[in-house]
Structure 1
Amino acid sequence: MAASGECGRLRIGIHALIPRSFLAELLARYREDYPGIDIDITEGTARDAVMQLRADRLDIVFVAGTPEPPDCHSRCIWVEPLVAALPECHQLAGQTTLTWADLAGETFLARNGGTGPQVYDHIVLRLAGRWPASSILRFDVERGTLLSMVGQGFGVTIVGAATSLLPTSGVIFLPFADEPEPVPFSAVWSPFNRSAALRNLLTLANDMGRRVRAD
């Protein structure tokens, strides 16, 4: 049973686990298909997750972006549109979409953990040298706390569309009209890991990802 991936343990590193998101549905389907597999989940930054993967403390990690570590395999599994999170009282709240130029001069909030580093880099990439300077404040908080800070008027932030599924008071989510690409999310794993449980998870992830892209 272990050789076929029907029993055993799988150690997974994640950026977040949001109800009804692609990752949550993937893990729910996997647990349903392989009830004999014990799943350990660790949440953290992409950098920390890959370090744990290299140290053989994780079997697979799911991270934002398309990293290509030279000593690991990686594959884009799914994508999400990028959306802006704004206070309900924001002057742009009545719009159906917005542009990066609309957010020029805003105070952006980002986390130090989770996908915070990628969020920070993306804001810098989109705004640097193009519009009036914006400030980016970074905090050691969880995702829910950061969204609460947005709702209280501390600033705005950008998130993958799955985050808009979270119950959040005082925050609205608006899609970008000029964001060229959705946010990719990738699986990263060691080429030396021969676990059948890992192989089965990757197969399921690929199948689900293809169906989502087809829809």
Structure 2
Amino acid sequence: MRAVGQGRAGSLTIGHNSSVSAGNLRATILAWQKDYPEVDFENVETDREALLAGLDNGEIDIAILIGEASHNGYRRELFWSERVLVALPSSHPLAERELIHWTDLRGERFLLSATGPGPEIRDMLLGRLSVAGMQPDVRMHRSSRETILGVLGDGLGLTVICEGSTGARYPDVVYRPIHSEQGPMLVGYSGYWYDNNGNPALQRFLKFIKTRHALFFNIHTNTIE
């Protein structure tokens, strides 16, 4: 019982709307499970609205989301940032470049999933590529990002992903980082939780995140040792 009260046992549910094939989210989850194997851990991948609803009804202890969501009483802290990349057919002329600028992507067709971070990436594309009243060609599909990546090699279009999705490889598809005028394009991953969630395992996880990523924020819950 003492281990549960200290957050070294018990249960913890983390929600996310991004891939864990690579990147900081994957590394953080694996390191947490290695350090705290007695915590019954569950991770839930679904879209932003479902994750926020899970926070509201207590099914999820913490959601780690790409971009920003309206607060509505949630506690929000930026955990880390990762690069944004374009996935394109290896036969595409841009595949010969080491990096891609936003201006290089004007006139291209983009295929995005209607779930996960797809809507957030669509908003990013609209903000970056809309010029003089013309909007980019963005097609939203009711399929997973993995399915979209699986068909890109046939030359159907491009897609934009975060670094956490680059752990999986697909036939005739390459990844190239996107740069803006200021350098590599980055997207933030933020944690959302309720301060009144008294789960000791959540407190322990937040302390773990703070230490691992050298962050500075207060944990407004019971002190854990």
Could you say whether these structures have the same fold, taking a TM-score greater than 0.5 normalized by the shorter chain as the test? yes
Distance 1:50 1:161, change over 3 A: same
Q: 2:97 aligns with which of 70, 95, 98?
A: 95
Match in the other structure for 1:151: 153
Q: 1:86 aligns with which of 67, 70, 88?
A: 88
CA–CA distance in structure 2, aligned partners of residues 129 and 70 of structure 1: 33
Q: Secondary structure at the match of 1:81?
A: strand
1:74-116 C-alpha deviation (Å, 9 max, x unpaired)? 1111110111111111011111112111111111111111111
Contact 2:87–2:173 under 8 Å retained in 1: yes
1:182-201 equivalent positions in 2, closer than 5 A? 182-201=186-205
Contact 2:8–2:201 under 8 Å retained in 1: yes
Q: Secondary structure at the match of 1:165?
A: coil
CA–CA distance in structure 1, aligned partners of residues 119 and 110 of structure 2: 13
Q: Secondary structure at the match of 1:9?
A: strand
Match in the other structure for 2:221: none
Cα root mean square deviation, aligned? 1.8
Alignment size in residue pairs = 211
Match in the other structure for 1:6: 8
Match in the other structure for 1:26: 28
Match in the other structure for 1:107: 109
Distance 1:110 1:91, change over 3 A: same
Match in the other structure for 2:68: 66
1:206 Cα deviation from its structure 2 partner: 2.2
Percent same amino acid among aligned pairs?
A: 25
CA–CA distance in structure 1, aligned partners of residues 61 and 178 of structure 2: 35
TM-score normalised by length of structure 1: 0.91
Q: Secondary structure at the match of 1:192?
A: coil
Match in the other structure for 2:209: 205
Contact 2:109–2:136 under 8 Å retained in 1: yes
Q: Which moved more, 1:8-17 or 1:97-106?
A: 8-17
1:195 Cα deviation from its structure 2 partner: 1.2
Match in the other structure for 1:126: 128
1:155-208 C-alpha deviation (Å, 9 max, x unpaired)? 111111222221222111111231644110011111210111001111212222
Contact 1:105–1:133 under 8 Å retained in 2: no
Structure 2 unaligned spans of 5+: 216-225
Q: 2:41 aligns with which of 39, 42, 47?
A: 39
